[in-house]
Amino acid sequence: MALLRTSLRARRTMTTVTAASCLLLGAAAAANAAPQGELSPPKVLSAENAFAEAADIAVRDDGSAVAVWTQTKNGAGPATVQVALQDSAGRWGQPTTLSESTSNAQRPAVATNGHDVAVTWEQGSAKGSRIMVAEFDGTWAKPQLISSSGATNPELVVNAKGTTSVTWLHNSKNAPTSVEFAQETTAGKFRAQQLTNKSESAVSQSMTVSESGQVSVVWYSLDDSYHVRASTPSNSAKTSPVTLSSSQLRTEAVEPAVATRAGKTIAVWQETLSDTSQHIAYATMTAAGRWSAAAPLPEADGGAANPQVGVDGSGRATVLWIKSGKCDQGMVSEQRADGTWKQAEQITESDRDNDGLRLDVAPDGRAVAAWPGIDPGDYPYRPPAQVNVRDADGKWTGVKSLSAAGNKCFDPIAKINDNGAIAAIWSLGNGESTSRVEAVTSLTPR
């Protein structure tokens, strides 16, 4: 599943709390035992004396990984997109620069179908930014320009045949912000199309692709209120978007995420109703392309926020969401075979403020969640990159800190492949003059 790095759910402001407010909650509900398996030491991927950030990672079927990030060396010059490849034996190669060096590159993202790899990013700044794509199948192809100026926030997927699809937001001076989509043709080119209606102004989007190659895109738009919308675009036919969220006049639906597998597509979002109550809602789409009515996720109310979603090979969904409180806690809702939901389970530590959670689910039901865990008694905050892994038996095996103590972690992301191999990446540093990108791999639950 594609995950946003520039939307509210990926960059939610860290809540400032006193040390006592979280610590009074008691011992962690999640087990403190580390996941079982072999974990490589953190590997610094970025250059020395550089400002490196906005990292993303993908793990292929053989356990090898592909990492991307932006980097400015010695505090001078435009930021460039860097990519590093790790082989199945765990050896990282030297980084390669993908982007041009004459203008800033931002927001890189990487995706794989297990073999083929694609990377996208913004090239340029302000209203002049454009979307670029580079593909890898043994060697890196020359990057392609696939958008007009004013394009931001790219997301991408690669289907089973190696076809790349990309979405982005397009900012036009005289029109609302639109969601645009481009899918690779058989000739290797990309054709852009607008998914949103002319009257709606989109804020962020998320995308997924099924085993058959069907792409689904969700976004939220500002109209009379905030609404979550969905489309199933392709090169062969143009589809009209549908509204997934509640039709109440004062409903505010934001932060959508979408995932698909085994013929089931599910979208989740954060919804605030007219009485100001806040919950997580979801809707499912069948293989025939029909969306269900929106329904509230059980227990995910009273301040629930920032949902993430994944689907396993049996079509069962896992939703990761934040339970807001004195300390924000990561909660997981798992679906049963009959479509009902198990009791929600906390998978983060109660004495830390946990935000910016990310989720990835493998076909066999294994999963990994990653986030920066804030110790409220340690100010200025220096959260480590933390993960919790769900094993093949469906058990969350416990919180583990990946980055070294005493450093400030930004935006950790973890991915899991069909065989349970995991790769995680984050940026680490003072967030001002220098920072570095680190990665770990081969966290394989038994």
* 446: pLDDT strictly greater than 70: no
**Structure tokens that stand for 401 in this block:** 């800190």
Percent of the chain at pLDDT exceeding 70: 88
Q: Which residue has the tokens 């979405």?
A: 167
**Mean pLDDT calculated for residue range 309-313:** 97
pLDDT digit string (tens) for 76-101? Answer: 789 999 999 999 888 999 999 999 99
**CB contact at 8 A, 83 and 66:** yes
Q: Which residue has the tokens 């950030």?
A: 53
Strand ranges of the sheet holding 164-172, from the earlier edge strand across to the other edge: 151-158, 164-172, 175-184, 190-194
pLDDT digit string (tens) for 338-380? Answer: 999 999 999 999 999 998 999 999 999 999 999 999 999 888 8
Query: What would the DSSP string read from start to end of 278-316?
Result: EEEEEEEE-TTSPBPPPEEEEEEESSEEEEEEEE-TTS-
Count of residues in the chain: 446
What confidence tier does 235 reach under pLDDT thresholds 50, 70, 90? Answer: confident
Other CB atoms within 10 A of residue 415 CB:
27
**Mean pLDDT calculated for residue range 109-116:** 97
What confidence tier does 16 reach under pLDDT thresholds 50, 70, 90? Answer: very low
**CB contact at 8 A, 166 and 176:** no
Please list the residues that pair with 118 across neighbouring strands.
111, 135
* Runs of H (alpha helix) within 12-59: 19-23
> On the CB side of 262, how many CA atoms lie within 13 Å of its CA?
14
* 36: pLDDT strictly greater than 90: no
**Structure tokens that stand for 158 in this block:** 């690669």
**Structure tokens that stand for 53 in this block:** 């950030």
Higher pLDDT, 6 or 77: 77
Q: What is the pLDDT of residue 21?
A: 47
**Mean pLDDT calculated for residue range 439-443:** 81
**Structure tokens that stand for 63 in this block:** 């356990």
Please list the residues that pair with 301 across neighbouring strands.
279
Domain boundaries, the chain: 19-441
Contacts of 186 (CB under 8 A, 6+ apart): none
> On the CB side of 238, how many CA atoms lie within 13 Å of its CA?
9
Q: Which 3-state string (H, E, C) describes 183-228?
A: EECCCCCEEEEECCCCCCEEEEEEEEECCCCCEEEEEEEECCCEEE
**CB contact at 8 A, 69 and 437:** yes
* 154: pLDDT strictly greater than 50: yes
**CB contact at 8 A, 436 and 44:** yes
pLDDT digit string (tens) for 177-189? Answer: 999 999 999 999 9
Please list the residues that pair with 73 across neighbouring strands.
50
Low-confidence winner among 8-17, 89-98, 325-334 (lowest mean pLDDT) = 8-17
* 320: pLDDT strictly greater than 50: yes
What confidence tier does 432 reach under pLDDT thresholds 50, 70, 90? Answer: low
3-state helix, strand and coil shares in percent for the chain, rounded to the nearest 5 = 0, 50, 50
* 328: pLDDT strictly greater than 50: yes
Amino acid identity at 301 = D
Q: Which of 181, 151, 180, 205 is closest to 8 using CA atoms?
A: 205
**Structure tokens that stand for 335 in this block:** 């679906």
Class for the domain spanning 19-441: mainly beta
pLDDT digit string (tens) for 380-400? Answer: 889 999 999 999 999 999 999
pLDDT digit string (tens) for 129-138? Answer: 999 999 998 9
Mean pLDDT of all residues belonging to the chain: 88
pTM for this prediction = 0.91
Alpha-carbon torsion (213, 232, 274, 9), positive or negative: positive
**Mean pLDDT calculated for residue range 227-234:** 94
Measuring CA to CA, how many Å separate 324 from each of 55, 292, 330, 381?
26, 27, 9, 19
DSSP 376: T
